[in-house]
């Protein structure tokens, strides 16, 4: 696999480094915040286009690393929510969530921002409410077109065929397809860690065809929780019947810095690799304050779709060839800043400095002002080879304004071995783009113990940063593999309890689980300070499971333990 990107940068880090737009859904409550959700990435003529909710346009990238926002020449009166987007190789089609009449747009040059009306006025959906959260799908083998849609805790996902001879007009009536079954599928239960009895939501339909099979994907149980995930049903026909995939959820990330992986799409890059996009949750200013993420994905030898969220918010490499191991894209750069000591130039009493290294985007540091020169210095505790950094801004009473030429972020990063002599390793003082989750891969490793953020400019009323994350490697050995791993099923078979022996010095653990020893596709990351127990509440009734574990620290990752079967009650 080749890894030399033309830009000289070979990695990305979730959440995707985009100029997320300010969201004004809550203007009447004087709430303004950056947000991005419901991503759809389309490969068109060898380059990538990302469409999302309330983006004021879309983004273009030649390599899945560098993204530039494109503002279209023509746009609907209101911004688009949960869009459908697809390319047939010659044309990109774009359609918005709605309950009334809306057009289908098209463009053969999405990089230019030009949009045309392909179908100026789609009628009201026959046979169902919507289409909300639509997906456009053209069967590559038959040429038939379909729209999949639905977003509700009452109604199912639907499908309706489209007529290519009539500008993709609706053909026939919408048909019911799938519903949630939280009584059987533990991950479909609502709430934080699936602990809410309220009726969950099914939404975010998207369709892929692979080796003659149709994979209808959906998001559940709710975008405002750490367990938001993607699942799939499989069929031999685009209209079904569909069978629940045994390894669901296919994309799941309840632990770590960025929680949540639901409502995105599965796309293939120009090298043939699959990716699954999703919508992590922040939820500080509003339940639906979110970001966007991208994870390696694939289909195994049994035709099961999976996504790999292991170290899913650590630096990952973008391949320039076909990968063969789902874990090989992890750069191996470890988190160096977790719980690091922080000193700041000033601080709001309710938003202290230690929030900067707690790996929680819902806590943040607020400086006394947003004037240039405000600073935050992290002591990593010892010297490391620093290879990348991520600065994650937060919105604290940001003010109400539109995204314009004044909305951008500027800062410098300095590094020191002794806290006295400093060198500038990042200088974004000429930046004219808003980068609320700025990820910077250093041209070469820098030996440092101390990292200092120096503020220059942010458009918001307050300087607020949730986390400054530092990645690289130490000189020591990786931690040992946790011993005495055990896992048992609860009397409620949707739940399982996992226990292991503490590894001294470990920063955290990855609990890897799945439906067979060679199908451990799920990862639940746990910080070591949380103890040596985990309850997994995402299992399917009647399905067997296996669990393995690894530990990690600043130096690296242990070997993965031998998988153990999740025992049933009484066994």
Q: Are residues 426 and 521 in the same domain?
A: no
Q: For residue 15, is the peptide bond before it cis, meaning its omega torsion is within 30 degrees of 0?
A: yes
In a domain, 324, yes or no: no
Q: How many domains does the chain have?
A: 3
Q: Does 351 lie in the same domain as 278?
A: no
Domain contains 22: yes
CA distance 265 to 148: 13
User: Which residue from 277, 266, 338, 336 is spatially nearest to 299, judged by alpha carbons?
Assistant: 266
Give CA 254 to chain center in angstroms.
11
The CATH number of whichever domain residue 423 belongs to comes to 2.60.120.260
* Residues 361, 250 share a domain: no
Phi and psi for 128 in degrees, rounded to 5?
-165, 160
**Residue 162 is assigned to a structural domain of this protein:** yes
Q: Read off the CATH number of the domain in which 133 is found.
A: 2.115.10.20
User: The pTM is what?
Assistant: 0.96
Are the CB atoms for 320 and 286 separated by under 8 Å?
A: no
The pLDDT value recorded for residue 1 is: 33
426 with 507, same domain?
no
- For residue 28, which phi and psi values (nearest 5 degrees)? -70, -15
Q: Are residues 116 and 251 in the same domain?
A: yes
Whether 538 is in a domain gets the answer yes
Q: Are 520 and 513 in contact (CB under 8 A)?
A: yes
- Give the C-alpha separation, 316 to 329, whole Å: 5
**pLDDT tens digits, 177-227:** 999 999 999 999 999 999 999 999 999 999 999 999 999 999 999 999 999
* Final residue belonging to a domain, choices 448, 473, 498: 473
Is 309 found in the same domain as 194? yes
Which pLDDT score is estimated for 296?
A: 98
55 touches 71 (CB < 8 A):
no
**What's the CATH number where 541 sits?**
2.60.40.10
Judgement on whether residues 259 and 360 belong to the same structural domain of the protein: no
* Token pair 């990855």: residue: 510
The residue written with tokens 């000033």 in the block is 346
506 in the same domain as 459: no
Q: Is residue 327 part of a domain?
A: no
Q: Please, which residues have CB within 8 angstroms of residue 264's CB and are 6 or more apart in sequence?
A: 38, 39, 40, 204, 206, 219, 230, 251, 276, 277, 278, 279, 292, 293, 294
User: Is residue 323 situated within a structural domain?
Assistant: no
For residues 468 and 454, the answer to whether their CB atoms sit within 8 Å is no
State the residue range of the domain holding 502.
Answer: 486-565
If asked whether residues 313 and 340 sit together in one domain, one would say no
3 within a domain of the structure (yes/no): no
**Shared domain check, 348 and 267:** no
Q: Is 155 left (phi over 0), alpha (psi -120 to 50) or beta?
A: beta
Whether residue 44 is found in the same domain as residue 129: yes
Please give the structure tokens belonging to residue 364.
């943040």
Instruction: Write down the pLDDT at residue 28.
Output: 55
Q: What pLDDT does 570 receive?
A: 65
458 plus 397 within the same structural domain: yes
Domain-ending residue, one of 442, 473, 504: 473
Tell me the pLDDT of the chain (571 aa) as tens digits. Answer: 333 333 578 999 999 999 999 876 655 566 789 999 999 999 999 999 999 999 989 999 999 999 999 999 877 767 899 999 999 999 999 999 999 889 999 999 999 999 999 999 899 999 999 999 999 999 999 999 999 999 999 999 999 999 999 999 999 999 999 999 999 999 999 999 999 999 999 999 999 999 999 999 999 999 999 999 999 999 999 999 999 999 999 999 999 999 999 999 999 999 999 999 999 999 999 889 999 999 999 999 999 999 999 999 999 999 999 999 999 999 999 999 999 999 999 999 999 999 999 999 999 999 999 999 999 999 999 999 999 999 999 999 987 666 667 899 999 999 999 999 999 999 999 999 999 999 999 999 999 999 999 999 999 999 999 999 999 999 999 999 999 999 999 999 999 999 999 999 999 999 999 999 999 999 999 999 999 999 999 999 999 999 999 999 999 999 999 999 999 886 6
143: left (phi over 0), alpha (psi -120 to 50) or beta: left
């Amino acid at each position: 696999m080749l890894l030399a990107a033309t830009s000289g940068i070979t990695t990305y880090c979730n959440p995707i480094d985009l100029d997320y737009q300010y969201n004004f859904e809550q203007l009447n409550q004087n709430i303004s915040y950056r947000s991005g959700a419901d991503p759809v990435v389309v490969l068109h003529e060898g380059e990538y286009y990302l469409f999302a909710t309330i983006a004021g346009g879309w983004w273009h990238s030649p390599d899945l690393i560098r993204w530039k926002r494109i503002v279209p020449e023509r746009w609907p009166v209101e911004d688009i929510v949960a869009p459908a987007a697809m390319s047939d190789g010659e044309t990109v089609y774009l359609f918005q969530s709605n309950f009334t009449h809306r057009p289908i747009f098209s463009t053969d040059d999405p990089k230019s921002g030009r949009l045309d009306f392909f179908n100026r006025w789609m009628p009201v959906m026959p046979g169902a409410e919507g289409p909300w959260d639509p997906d456009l799908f053209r069967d590559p083998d038959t040429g038939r077109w379909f729209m999949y849609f639905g977003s509700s805790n009452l109604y199912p996902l639907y499908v309706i065929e489209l007529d290519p001879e009539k500008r993709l007009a609706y053909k026939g009536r919408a048909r019911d397809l799938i519903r949630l079954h939280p009584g059987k599928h533990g991950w479909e239960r609502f709430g934080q860690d699936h602990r809410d009895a309220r009726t969950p939501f099914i939404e975010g339909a998207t369709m892929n065809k692979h080796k003659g099979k149709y994979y209808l994907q959906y998001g559940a149980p709710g975008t405002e929780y750490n367990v938001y995930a993607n699942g799939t049903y499989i069929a031999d026909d685009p209209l079904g019947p569909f069978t629940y995939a045994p390894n669901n959820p296919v994309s799941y990330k309840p632990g770590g810095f960025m929680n949540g992986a639901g409502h995105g799409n599965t796309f293939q890059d120009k090298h043939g690799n699959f990716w699954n996009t999703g919508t992590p949750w922040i939820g500080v200013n509003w339940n639906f304050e979110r970001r966007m993420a991208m994870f390696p994905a694939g289909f195994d030898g049994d035709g099961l779709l999976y996504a790999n969220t292991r170290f899913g918010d650590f630096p990952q490499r973008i391949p320039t060839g076909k990968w063969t191991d789902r874990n090989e894209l992890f750069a191996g750069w470890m988190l160096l800043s977790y719980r690091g000591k922080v000193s700041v130039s000033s601080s709001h009493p309710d938003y202290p400095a230690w929030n900067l290294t707690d790996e929680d985007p819902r806590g943040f540091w607020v400086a006394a002002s947003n004037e240039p020169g405000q600073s935050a210095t992290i002591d990593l505790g010892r010297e490391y080879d620093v290879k990348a950094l991520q600065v994650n801004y937060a919105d604290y009473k940001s003010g109400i304004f539109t995204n314009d030429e004044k909305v951008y972020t500027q800062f410098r990063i300095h590094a020191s071995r002794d806290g006295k002599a400093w060198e500038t390793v990042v200088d974004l003082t000429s930046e004219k783009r808003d980068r609320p989750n700025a990820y910077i891969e250093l041209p070469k490793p820098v030996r440092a113990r101390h990292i200092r953020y120096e503020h220059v400019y942010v458009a918001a009323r307050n300087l607020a940063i949730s986390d400054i994350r530092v990645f690289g490697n130490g000189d020591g050995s990786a931690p040992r593999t946790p011993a005495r791993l055990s896992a048992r099923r609860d009397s409620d078979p949707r739940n399982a309890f996992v226990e292991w022996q503490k590894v001294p010095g470990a920063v955290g653990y990855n609990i890897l689980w799945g439906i067979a020893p060679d199908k451990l596709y799920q990862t639940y990351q746990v910080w070591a300070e949380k103890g040596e127990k985990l309850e997994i509440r995402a299992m399917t009734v009647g399905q067997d499971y296996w669990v393995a574990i690894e530990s990690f620290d600043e130096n690296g990752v242990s070997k993965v333990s031998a998988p153990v079967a999740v025992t049933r009650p009484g066994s």
